Each structure stands twice: as structure tokens, then as C-alpha cells.
Structure 1
């Protein structure tokens, strides 16, 4: 019989303990995944609604789900600007599609203002409704800051040129510097600004220092976070440009809406 102090017995006990712990951790990860995915989806809905000015940051699940009934999502082919009708928007994951060579699009380097490199071929567009009337349009956007990929929403008035709001719900920018993109005071500068210049190209930009009062396109910079600010500019300009939502925006505005 092995001694309780033997090396072999110690190793056997340690091995059994490791196996049991691994099984428990694996089971927990698998069993909790649906709840994690549900909470992630709820958080994205909440941030969309907050950016659109529909709910406050204190909103809970019931209020979020009720408010989200005002949102109509559609899927758009970013190359043509046409709606995609054979896929339900709720069943389409742009992040997964961007990793699939059959469903993604490699962005030309001269077009890649957001330093994204590869995106999905299709993108979602969210319409904020009041009955049958569209009150605003929400575009999901993402692009590189200094340290991370920033994921957010850009809300436009129905002219698809006037900003109603912007918000980022996931990023890893430096707190107090690039993290200031979460600052409500900075986000409050965006409403009323214009996206497109007279030439039809995106002109909006986050500048160094304070914006001129008369400027329709300039957003106050982020002190000490120039690269993050440049990333926000590039991200917004890319997604509003011809290589992304531009064809849809043209069709929407020329066609008088949906």
C-alpha cells in the first residue's frame, strides 16, 4: 500500500483534481454560453437604443425589449445598396461573415480609412419607427482606434446626412484618453453635424482642438488621443463612403426613403 506521503499518491490526487476542475469549468462554459450570448445581444440592443435617444443607461431588459419594437432591421448588400431579402437580419452575424472567405470582402488599402482590412459583404441598417414613419436611421460601424477595434452605432436623421447621435459600445482605448469617446459631453457635440460635403463625399472629421462654431463637419478633438480621434474619423468616413453604405445612402435619398 502506498504511503499517504508518497509522490505517486500526490500526483494521482493532483491529476484527479485537475480533471474534475477541467470538467466543471468546461461544463460551466458550455452551459452558460446561451445566457452570455443573450446578455451580449441585449447589451447591443441597449446601446443602439441609447444612441438613438430612446432609452437611458439605466434601462433594464423589459424596457429594452419593449423599446426595441420601434426598430426595424434590414439587411443591405453593401456593393449594390439593395436590400437582401432572402436572409433574415436577425439570423445574420456580420462578424462571423467577415471571417468567412465566401461571405467577406477584402477592402482595398486606398479605401480602408477605418483600418478594417476585411468586412462582411452585407451590412444591417436599423430604422427607428413611429408607426409607419421612419424617424431616424442607425448604422453599425467599426474601425481601429489606437489600441483596439471600436464598435458602435451612428444615427442619422432621415436625410442621411445630419447626425443625430454616435456611440461606441465596445473598445479597448486608454481610459481618460481614447476612452473619452464614451464621454457624454463629447458625444453631445455630434448631433446636428453633417456627414457629406457638396461633392458628395464624407467630410465630417474629429479635429485637433476645438471645432469652429460655424463648422458643419468638425468635431472637437480628444485631448491627448489623436490616434483614437483619427480612428473615429476614418471609421465614420469609411462606413458612409462609396465602399460601404454609400450605395445604399444614394438609393435611399434618391428614392425618397424606404
Structure 2
């Protein structure tokens, strides 16, 4: 007479299918195997997924920036890899808790805006956001171009633009006016390519670090000036103040210094 089978696996398989013990053990084993397969697939696919997300983000960034009038040709001339970062304007560092995706929601919170005193508010903004999304073009480890959103009060309303600076953080690479309501044929000429073409190569600061940029009253006569617009003195002055504000300590000044120190 054969003795009892001492192999636990065979004894388990010999249990009737209606056995509660067998059902629970099979369910547990199936769950464990599925969990292991899912975990393994996640580990294997994580680098691929990260690369795909990075590629998608890069494509969105390039599409956004190339949609800005005049920026596509500038990027093609500069070369390099384009990236974006949300900057804390007070510190000049990358924001810890605000991303490009969450920036709009963050700026809906009045607590993320700073009131400007009348003496320092040369751009006529009243309030300045605490965070701003900027775009960086890199060649290797070096920043070769920075695209900075700027805004200010013009003669008839708000002016918004993208200012591009070369890697030395002192030479203008170009400008694109993205919104304005200035008088057509006068101040409205700020969105004309013929006027914007006088910007590249203009220096922002002198050797002592003082911001000297200005829109001239006529043709530019120094390396710190761009051509003025005939009959649009108020608009020209507004653009001068707007650029000086955003490149100063209340605007992107801390960021500019951080880039100069090689921290970006």
C-alpha cells in the first residue's frame, strides 16, 4: 500500500477545485505573479517613458518659441538645445514648486504677485509676478541665448514682448513684440520687422554695470541705443523703461547674475 505523498505541491494540486484553500492560494499566486510582471515592466519601460516625455516637452517648447514672430530664424542662427524653466524672480533661481505646467495656476493666486513702489515701477506695471517662464538655448554646458518675457505700460495700453539676450547677458540678440495697442503708423510700428532689426548687437550695460539701454529720439548713435520711432516719443520712452525695469534688480537682474556665475 502506497504511503501518503509528502510533496506539498502535488498534495496542493490534488485538492478538489472547490476547496477554499486552493482557491485562495491560486488567487494569491496569480496576483503575485501579475504584480511582479507589472513592476518589472515599469522598471524596464521607465527610461523609455522618461525619454518620450522629455522629447514631447522639447517639441512643445520649440513649437511655442518658434511661434513667436522673429524667433525661429534667431534660434536657427544660434544653434544649441532649447529648454525652459520657471524662475523665482526674487532669487533668480529655478522655482521649486512651480513648473511650466502649473505656472498659470500659480499666477492666479494673488499671493504670488508683488506690489511695486512708485519709485521703482518704471515700467508702470503696478504688480510684478513672482515667477516667470524663461527659455534657455545651450551649447554644451554654456547658455548661448536667453529669451525673457517682458511687459510694460505703453502710450495706449500694455506692451508685451520677448527679449533675447546673448550668452554674455549684455548683448541683445533680438526682440519680438507679441502684444500692444499703440497708435497705428506711429507707436504701432514697434511690431514692424524694420524697427526690430535695429536691436541685435545693442549693449545693455556699460563697463561699470549700469543699464544704459534706450530707444533713441532718432537714429541710434551709441552701442546702447536702438533707432527711435518718429512721432512716437511716448511709446519709445515706454519701451526704454520696460527693458530697463526687466533687466534690473526688480526683474531678471538676479537671474542674469546667476547665469553669469554659471549656475544655469
TM-score normalised by structure 2 residue count: 0.69
2-side partners of 1:188 and 1:179: how far apart?
15
> Is 1:47 paired with 2:68?
yes
> Is 1:161 paired with 2:170?
yes
2-side partners of 1:51 and 1:169: how far apart?
14
Structure 2 stretches lacking a partner, 5+ long: 1-62
Matches within 5 A, 1:1-258: 46-47=67-68, 50=71, 53-54=74-75, 70-93=81-104, 97=107, 100-129=109-138, 134-212=143-221, 215-253=222-260, 255-256=261-262, 258=264
Q: Secondary structure at the match of 1:71?
A: strand
1-side partners of 2:126 and 2:155: how far apart?
16
Q: What displacement does 1:151 show?
A: 0.8
1-side partners of 2:103 and 2:187: how far apart?
30
2-side partners of 1:124 and 1:234: how far apart?
21
Q: What displacement does 1:91 show?
A: 2.4
Runs of 4+ with >4 A deviation: 42-45, 130-133
Q: Secondary structure at the match of 1:89?
A: coil
2-side partners of 1:256 and 1:124: how far apart?
19
2-side partners of 1:250 and 1:208: how far apart?
30
Q: What displacement does 1:124 show?
A: 1.8
Contact 1:75–1:89 under 8 Å retained in 2: yes
Structure 1 residues 154 and 115, CA gap change in structure 2 (3 angstroms): same
1-side partners of 2:203 and 2:82: how far apart?
23
Structure 1 stretches lacking a partner, 5+ long: 1-41, 56-68
1-side partners of 2:70 and 2:197: how far apart?
16
Q: What displacement does 1:240 show?
A: 0.2
Size of the aligned set, in residue pairs, is 201
Structure 1 residues 44 and 109, CA gap change in structure 2 (3 angstroms): farther
Q: CA RMSD in A?
A: 2.5
